[in-house]
């Protein structure tokens, strides 16, 4: 008998509710993945405004849950466990999801699992590509995180190998988009503009790649400043800014560093599988370059489809399914959200 796991996500600006079926053979099947986004309300502020996100989560939580059950054709009494993002994320936003999950778990009298958002980004891949080989390496890239993680057990053992020392990759996209008068969030418009540009046109710096830099950490702040300098230089000379070339060259610098470090980390550790996930994983240049370099190095590359890469409840339900299947003890109903939850804590 499959177990039905409900997953709730509210760490940033997406209210997500997912439903999955955990089968006895270890596979996890996606049944529903409903998301309500407040991204448009944040656009004019150029970034996520926590209070606006929290207000939107409260409005969207129950309607999104209703839609998930309608889509799956399930009733609430079919649920065997509730999983929720306990952190990391925005405190006020997390609180809404955690409170809702506790209420659902209490009313349905089922176990509650407060889980790590970052681990959810990796677990979601099992919905598309089946069980994860252990160990595997994960590159998480989004507006909120840029991390290289070693995954020995998705239900419990995740180790950080490297992370950004300043901006997340997605933040750099947002800032460069603003510089080029492209809309927020910056990822999709830069990707689109870059298609008509020359990625070799401008040699932007590759951050944290010097001989004395931490081998697997990232930095995108210097790159962002270099792009700003270059654009201001062109404007100062009265030249028209070649948006496509700037976008393509910037994107090339980001994809180059991310894939080079990920492939090197996998090769050095003798790990044969790389999972690339998070909102920026949908970027066309990042996925193309990852494909190319993984093929050269003989590494299996797994990238979940774009819809699964961005924040959603299905990833939390998938992680909940793995945690429950591993027999871990459920969370207490006095569970609190933890905005700074460390990545090695999969279950709270």
**3-class state of residue 236 by DSSP:** helix
Total Cβ atoms within 10 A of residue 59: 13
Which residues in 306-345 contact Zn ion (CB under 5 A)? 311
Please, what is the minimum distance in Å from the beta carbon of residue 226 to other proteins?
9
Please, what is the minimum distance in Å from the beta carbon of residue 276 to Zn ion?
13
Nearest of 131, 49, 64 to residue 104 by alpha carbon:
64
Please, what is the minimum distance in Å from the beta carbon of residue 269 to Zn ion?
24
DSSP state of 240: P
Please, what is the minimum distance in Å from the beta carbon of residue 44 to other proteins?
6
Q: Which does 333 bind (CB under 5 to 8 A by kind): Zn ion, other proteins, none?
A: other proteins
Q: Which does 100 bind (CB under 5 to 8 A by kind): other proteins, Zn ion, none?
A: other proteins
Residue 252 interacting with Zn ion (CB under 5 A): no
Q: Which is nearer to other proteins, 92 or 272 (CB)?
A: 92
Q: Which residue is nearest to Zn ion (CB)?
A: 311
Q: Which does 228 bind (CB under 5 to 8 A by kind): other proteins, Zn ion, none?
A: other proteins
The CA–CA distances, whole Å, from 17 to 51, 119, 141, 204, 255 equal 21, 17, 21, 40, 31
**3-class state of residue 292 by DSSP:** helix
Burial class (CB in 10 A: 0-12, 13-18, 19+), 327: exposed
Rounded Cα distance between 58 and 37, Å, is 12
Please state the separation of Cα 333 from the chain's center in Å: 26
Q: Which does 44 bind (CB under 5 to 8 A by kind): other proteins, Zn ion, none?
A: other proteins
Which residues in 91-150 contact Zn ion (CB under 5 A)? 142
The CA–CA distances, whole Å, from 60 to 57, 75, 96, 97, 211 equal 5, 19, 10, 10, 48
Rounded Cα distance between 84 and 73, Å, is 21
Q: Which residues bind other proteins (CB under 8 A)?
A: 44-46, 49, 51-52, 54-55, 57-59, 61-62, 65-66, 76, 91-92, 95-96, 98-100, 102-104, 106-108, 178-179, 225, 228-229, 232-233, 236, 333-337
Q: Which is nearer to Zn ion, 259 or 312 (CB)?
A: 312
Q: Which does 103 bind (CB under 5 to 8 A by kind): other proteins, Zn ion, none?
A: other proteins
Q: Which does 292 bind (CB under 5 to 8 A by kind): other proteins, Zn ion, none?
A: none
């Amino acid at each position: 008998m499959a177990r039905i796991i409900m997953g709730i996500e509210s760490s940033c600006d997406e209210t997500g509710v997912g439903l999955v079926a955990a089968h006895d053979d270890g596979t996890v099947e996606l049944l529903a993945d409903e998301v309500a986004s407040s991204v448009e309300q944040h656009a004019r502020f150029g970034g996520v405004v926590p209070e606006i996100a929290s207000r939107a989560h409260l409005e969207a939580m129950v309607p999104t849950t209703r839609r998930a059950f309608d889509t799956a054709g399930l009733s609430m009494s079919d649920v065997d466990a509730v999983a929720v993002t306990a952190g990391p994320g925005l405190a006020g936003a997390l609180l809404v999801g955690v409170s809702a999950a506790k209420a659902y778990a209490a009313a349905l009298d089922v176990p509650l699992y407060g889980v790590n958002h970052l681990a959810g980004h990796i677990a979601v891949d099992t919905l598309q590509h089946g069980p994860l080989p252990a160990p595997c390496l994960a590159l998480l890239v989004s507006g909120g995180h840029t991390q290289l993680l070693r995954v020995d057990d998705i239900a419990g053992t995740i180790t950080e190998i490297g992370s950004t020392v300043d901006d997340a990759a997605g933040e750099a996209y947002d800032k460069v988009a603003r510089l080029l008068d492209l809309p927020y969030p910056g990822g999709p418009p830069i990707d689109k503009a870059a298609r008509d540009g020359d990625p070799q046109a401008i040699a932007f710096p590759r951050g944290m790649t010097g001989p004395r830099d931490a081998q697997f950490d990232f930095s995108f702040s210097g790159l962002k400043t270099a792009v700003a300098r270059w654009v201001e230089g062109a404007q100062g000379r009265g030249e028209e800014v070649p948006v496509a070339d700037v976008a393509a060259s910037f994107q090339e610098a980001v994809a180059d560093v991310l894939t080079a470090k990920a492939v090197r980390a996998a090769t050095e550790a003798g790990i044969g599988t790389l999972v690339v996930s998070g909102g920026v994983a949908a970027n066309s240049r990042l996925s193309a370059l990852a494909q190319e370099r993984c093929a050269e190095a003989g590494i299996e590359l797994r990238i979940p489809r774009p819809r699964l890469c961005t924040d959603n409840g299905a990833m939390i339900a998938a992680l909940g399914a793995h945690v429950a299947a591993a027999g871990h003890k459920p969370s207490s109903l006095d569970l609190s959200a933890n905005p700074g939850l460390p990545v090695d804590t999969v279950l709270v």
